[in-house]
Amino acid sequence: MNLKIKEKDGFKYVDEGKGQVLMLLHGLFGALSNWTDVVSRFYTKYRVVIPMLPIYEMPIKEAGLDGLREFVESFVSMMKLDNMILMGNSLGGHVGILYTLHNMEKVDKLVLTGSSGLFEDSMGGSYPRRGSYDYVKERVEYTFYDPKVASKELVDEVFETTKSIPKCMRIVAIAKSAQRNNLADDLHKIKAPTLLVWGLNDTITPPPVAHEFNRLIPNSTLRFIDKCCHAPMMEHPEKFNVLVEDFLN
């Protein structure tokens, strides 16, 4: 399905379906296309909402985890959302955890997939490198078990982003903020039932990270998908959606 972007009060977002709110938070290089299969599966039963995180537009001094959490809080307030199921991939999972810790009363359930917040290999350390298409292609492919999932459209999108110095500055600032922001001491406070869906071959937040999230979040369930790396909802959408549906039911 084609996802239609709406705009209101300076926010850009997707809002499909009716029912309990299922809010999706994308990662550092996330695009709406990351969530297409999730929206298609769940919009008939849930109100699926995706705020476009202002990763490339934030004032540089605010480019970090706290700024993104505050953005989500403002978005939720503007949309008057409540009793949400929160789902986040990679950096989006990290933002989702921080939002949950600050707004327990708003979150009914939490779904994390390849989330940062404990440890991550930041795509090899020197990412993003400007000007080298082959390097960007290699780094995008690195996030998938099957490199063919990294379509030319996806690589082109990331390459265009990395050509902009201001965007790169924000990406680096947010990535460093995420690496500094270790949540190990706070995860025990999460009360919402939590599903952890991890790629068994995740190279960025490897399986031991998932086990540690599972150990530290009290009411959590961990499920692995084989032959899958850092974005299960893209690489194995059917298996991912079945796991989420079982959890929500």
The residue length of the chain stands at 249
Question: Strands of 194-199's sheet, edge to edge?
Answer: 6-8, 11-16, 47-51, 21-25, 84-89, 107-113, 194-199, 220-225
Helix, strand, or coil here: 134?
helix
**Domain 6-121+182-248 CATH superfamily:** Alpha/Beta hydrolase fold, catalytic domain (3.40.50.1820)
CB 38 within 8 Å of CB 241 = yes
* pTM of the predicted protein model: 0.93
pLDDT of residue 130: 59
Domain ranges of the chain: 6-121+182-248
Query: How crowded is the C-beta side of 113, counted as CA atoms within 13 Å?
Result: 33
pLDDT of residue 200: 98
Question: For the chain, which residues score pLDDT lower than 70?
Answer: 120-131
